[in-house]
Amino acid sequence: MNSASQPLLTLENITKRFKDLTAVNGINLEVSPGEKLVIIGPSGSGKSTLLRSINLLEEIDEGTIRFEGREVGYVMRHGKRHADRPQAISALRAEIGMVFQHFHLFPHMTVLGNVMEGPLTVQCKPADEARSIADGMLAKVGLSDKRDVFPATLSGGQKQRVAIARALAMHPKMMLFDEPTSALDPELVGEVFDAIHTLADEGMTMIIVTHHMGFARELADRVIFMDGGNFLAEGTPEELFSKGQDNERIRSFLNRLL
Amino acid sequence: MKYVSSRALVALFFLCTLAGTCRGAMDYDQLFRQSSDLMAQGDLDGALTLLKQVPAPAPGEDAGPFVSSRMQAARILASQEETDKALAACQEVLRLFPDNSEARNFVAALKDQLRPKWHTVLADTLRFLPALGRGAMMTLLLVLCTMLVSPLGGLLIALGRISTLRPVSGLCWFIIWFFRGTPLLLQLFFIYYGLPSLGITLSPMTAAVIGLGLNYSAYLGEIIRGAIQSIDHGQMEAAKAIGMSYGQAMRRVIIPQTYKRLMPPVGNEFIALIKDTALVSTIAMVELMRAADQLFNTYFNITALVLAAMIYLVLTTIFTFIFEKIEYRAGIYEQR
């Protein structure tokens, strides 16, 4: 793997403004292949916006995104930044899986239909092949028995596992999790966490935005604390969660959560 | 005294006999003449009173005046729609002369009037149905064509309206503004009577489908736009996140979810459409309304209009049931 030398994802000076509010303020970040990065921080700190910017669901105002070394998402025309062609943007999204807080399963498709939709429609694979891929992904998240039901009949935890399988069916090179357990009842968090853990053990590169500190501590190679659109602190879980944390802002945030 | 009295008695007898016979014969003629005069003057009640003065004949006496008077009275009463009294007058005759054919026929005719008219209605129905059926088929054809054309037009207009390309959304806004803002009747007139002056001559059917299609596309466009925009934005994001293009996301994810939400308002529009096709009768197309109108004007018979109303109700009922079925099927995935 020559990629060990090269970061999978590089963010340079990413800035996103909503009218007067600067949600993401000049962020620089490198994510190596296989790395598990967890971003924590209070609500409104820009974590989700940063994640959505990576997937080009938010159009950034400044900065550069590199995926596998090449610049993606934006082109310069007449000295001005423009969003890249829709096909190029879709192609990048197909390589980066995303899991949302509120699942966003397609309610009019069965569980199997949801998972095979990407391979079928985006990758134009034959239905048989798409179905066998989907069955494999459903088996991985432990929901093979639910393949023919509609999402409305599932619990929150099951829905989120289907959403993970749907993203995995595209064989992404990287996964983005945007508060994957925040909309779940506490007793359902475990099953989703387990699914993500399995994925991590397989070496998937992932960025997880979460409020679950236990999750972060157990899974992360690196934890970033974000506030006001900036990275306030960065380090291994041990460093960041240690009692000797000198940053007052982080200490009070962690104390409130723990 | 005896002489005088006997002569007087004889004279009186003769006088009386004479007077009696003369008065009787003269009386009837004069009475009928008087009653005719009164009828001519419009005094029917007076004529009736006179006619009733004719007594029942003694056995062996001439029955002619009596029968004539009672039948004349019956005719007057029938004309005044006093059917019961007219019947009573005929019965007076029949009591004495059960075989009198004039009275019997008159009674039969009166009873025919009294009877419910269902058999005449049935006859009219059978007479009118073929023409109305042909009209209904035209109406149905028109409705089906418009139902095929307008959702497609509506979808294009809806997608155009939410397009970020200003010229496209502006054009679609204009189409909606124009076709919702002017009467359908005017649009039909323009297409059928106005376009020939631009060198475009259309058959009534084509003009009707174009007019109804454009008008209903404008309405459905707004309904479809509302339904698309009511779908959770997360659905579009999730579709894009697995790499779908805008078109793929619309076709595979967003639009299929609008079907259930579309059915109630679209059903409403289509029920209105079935009735709005009646306006097409004004551009020389013989559909159900026009067929009923023609029958009504030819026979001056309200049955044609009642039948047309019933056929419209049958059509709207059938479509209502179909729409309810589709709505149920479209939303089946929401059931837990």
Co-location of B216 and B148 in the same domain: yes
Residue B20 is predicted with a pLDDT of 47
Co-location of B92 and B48 in the same domain: yes
Residue A110: CB atoms within 10 Å = 17
Is B16 a residue whose pLDDT tops 70? no
A200/B58 Cα distance (integer angstroms): 126
Co-location of B98 and B141 in the same domain: no
Q: Which residues of B touch A154 (CB under 8 A)?
A: none
Co-location of B132 and B70 in the same domain: no
Q: Which residues contact A58 (CB under 8 A, 6 or more apart)?
A: A16, A49, A52
Asked if A100 is an interface residue toward chain B (Cβ–Cβ < 8 A), one would say yes
Residue B178 is predicted with a pLDDT of 95
Domain endpoint, select from B89, B114, B139: B114
Q: Do residues A103 and A179 touch, judged by C-beta distance below 8 A? A: no
Q: Which residues of B touch A102 (CB under 8 A)?
A: 234
Q: Do residues A199 and A168 touch, judged by C-beta distance below 8 A? A: yes
Model confidence pLDDT, tens digit, residues B291-317: 999 999 888 888 899 999 999 999 999
Q: Do A90 and B245 touch (CB under 8 A)?
A: yes
Co-location of B145 and B260 in the same domain: yes
Q: Which residues of A touch B252 (CB under 8 A)?
A: 117, 121
Q: Do A93 and B241 touch (CB under 8 A)?
A: yes
Q: What percent of chain B has pLDDT over 90?
A: 55
Question: Of A7-16, B102-111, B199-208, where does mean pLDDT reach its minimum?
Answer: B102-111
ipTM of the complex model = 0.92
Model confidence pLDDT, tens digit, residues A48-102: 999 999 999 999 999 999 999 999 999 988 888 889 999 999 999 999 999 999 9
Model confidence pLDDT, tens digit, residues B59-96: 777 778 777 788 877 787 777 777 777 788 778 777 87
Instruction: Provide the β-strand partners of residue A36.
Output: A206
Residue with more model confidence, B218 or A252: B218
In this complex, the residue of B235, B240, B244 whose CB is nearest that of residue A121 is B244
Residue A72 is predicted with a pLDDT of 92
Co-location of B126 and B228 in the same domain: yes
Angle of CA points A202, A102, A39, to nearest 5°: 55
B127 to chain A, minimum CA–CA distance in Å?
51
- Which positions 127-156 of A are in contact with B (Cβ < 8 Å)? 150, 152-153
Is B26 a residue whose pLDDT tops 50? no
Co-location of B156 and B294 in the same domain: yes
Is B22 a residue whose pLDDT tops 50? no
Task: Quote the mean pLDDT of chain A.
Answer: 90
Model confidence pLDDT, tens digit, residues A108-157: 999 999 999 999 999 999 999 999 999 999 999 999 999 999 999 999 99
- Pairing of the two strands A70-71 and A62-67: antiparallel
B267/B263 Cα distance (integer angstroms): 6
DSSP character string of B110-168:
HHHHHS-THHHHHHHHHHHHHHHHHHHHHHHHHHHHHHHHHHHHHHHHHHHHT-S-HHH
Is A222 a residue whose pLDDT tops 70? yes
Q: How far is CA B30 from CA A187, B36, B53, B70, B178, in A?
A: 114, 10, 12, 16, 79
Q: What percent of chain A has pLDDT over 70?
A: 96
Q: Nearest CA to A69 among A151, A7, A5, A159? A: A7
Co-location of B68 and B122 in the same domain: no
Q: Do residues B241 and A176 touch, judged by C-beta distance below 8 A? A: no
Residue B213 is predicted with a pLDDT of 95
Domain endpoint, select from B59, B84, B114: B114
Range of the structural domain that residue B273 is part of: 118-334
A167 to chain B, minimum CA–CA distance in Å?
6
Residue A244 is predicted with a pLDDT of 55
B236 to chain A, minimum CA–CA distance in Å?
9
B203/B231 Cα distance (integer angstroms): 41
In this complex, the residue of B237, B244, B334 whose CB is nearest that of residue A104 is B237
Is B14 a residue whose pLDDT tops 60? no
Can you state the angle between helices B101-114 and B64-79, rounded to 10 degrees?
A: 10
Asked if A124 is an interface residue toward chain B (Cβ–Cβ < 8 A), one would say no
Q: Do A106 and B238 touch (CB under 8 A)?
A: yes
B205 to chain A, minimum CA–CA distance in Å?
38
For residues A177-193, give the mean pLDDT: 91
CB pairs under 8 A between A and B: 74
Q: Which CATH superfamily is domain A34-55+94-257 in?
A: P-loop containing nucleotide triphosphate hydrolases (3.40.50.300)
Residue B108 is predicted with a pLDDT of 78
In this complex, the residue of B235, B243, B333 whose CB is nearest that of residue A91 is B243
Residue B238 is predicted with a pLDDT of 96
B334 to chain A, minimum CA–CA distance in Å?
6
Q: Which residues of B touch A118 (CB under 8 A)?
A: 242-244
Q: Which residues of B touch A51 (CB under 8 A)?
A: none
Instruction: Provide the β-strand partners of residue A176.
Output: A98, A207
Q: Do residues B330 and B259 touch, judged by C-beta distance below 8 A? A: yes
Q: How many domains does chain B have?
A: 2
Is A20 a residue whose pLDDT tops 90? no
Q: Which residues of B touch A123 (CB under 8 A)?
A: 243
Domain endpoint, select from B48, B79, B114: B114
For residues B24-36, give the mean pLDDT: 70
Positive or negative, the CA dihedral B187, B193, B199, B204 is: positive
Q: Do residues A18 and A229 touch, judged by C-beta distance below 8 A? A: no
Instruction: Provide the β-strand partners of residue A174.
Output: A96, A205
Co-location of B109 and B154 in the same domain: no
Residue with more model confidence, B95 or B138: B138
Asked if A73 is an interface residue toward chain B (Cβ–Cβ < 8 A), one would say no
A232 to chain B, minimum CA–CA distance in Å?
29
CATH code, B79: 1.25.40.10
Residue with more model confidence, A79 or B268: B268
Model confidence pLDDT, tens digit, residues A171-180: 999 999 999 9
Residue B21 is predicted with a pLDDT of 47
Residue B8 is predicted with a pLDDT of 57
For residues B130-144, give the mean pLDDT: 94
Q: Do A152 and B334 touch (CB under 8 A)?
A: yes
Task: Quote the mean pLDDT of chain B.
Answer: 85
In this complex, the residue of B237, B243, B252 whose CB is nearest that of residue A90 is B243
Q: Do A108 and B242 touch (CB under 8 A)?
A: no
Residue A105 is predicted with a pLDDT of 96
A95 to chain B, minimum CA–CA distance in Å?
8
For residues B6-27, give the mean pLDDT: 51
Q: Which residues of B touch A (CB under 8 A)?
A: 232, 234-235, 237-246, 248, 252-253, 256-257, 333-336
Q: Which residues of B touch A105 (CB under 8 A)?
A: 238
Q: Which residues of B touch A86 (CB under 8 A)?
A: 245-246
Co-location of B27 and B155 in the same domain: no
3-state secondary structure of A107: coil
Residue A126 is predicted with a pLDDT of 96
Residue B12 is predicted with a pLDDT of 53
Q: Do A170 and B243 touch (CB under 8 A)?
A: yes
Asked if A106 is an interface residue toward chain B (Cβ–Cβ < 8 A), one would say yes
Helical H runs in B162-200? 166-181, 184-189
Co-location of B317 and B282 in the same domain: yes
Asked if A97 is an interface residue toward chain B (Cβ–Cβ < 8 A), one would say yes
Co-location of B246 and B193 in the same domain: yes
Q: Do B242 and A107 touch (CB under 8 A)?
A: no
Q: Do A122 and B248 touch (CB under 8 A)?
A: yes
Is B146 a residue whose pLDDT tops 60? yes
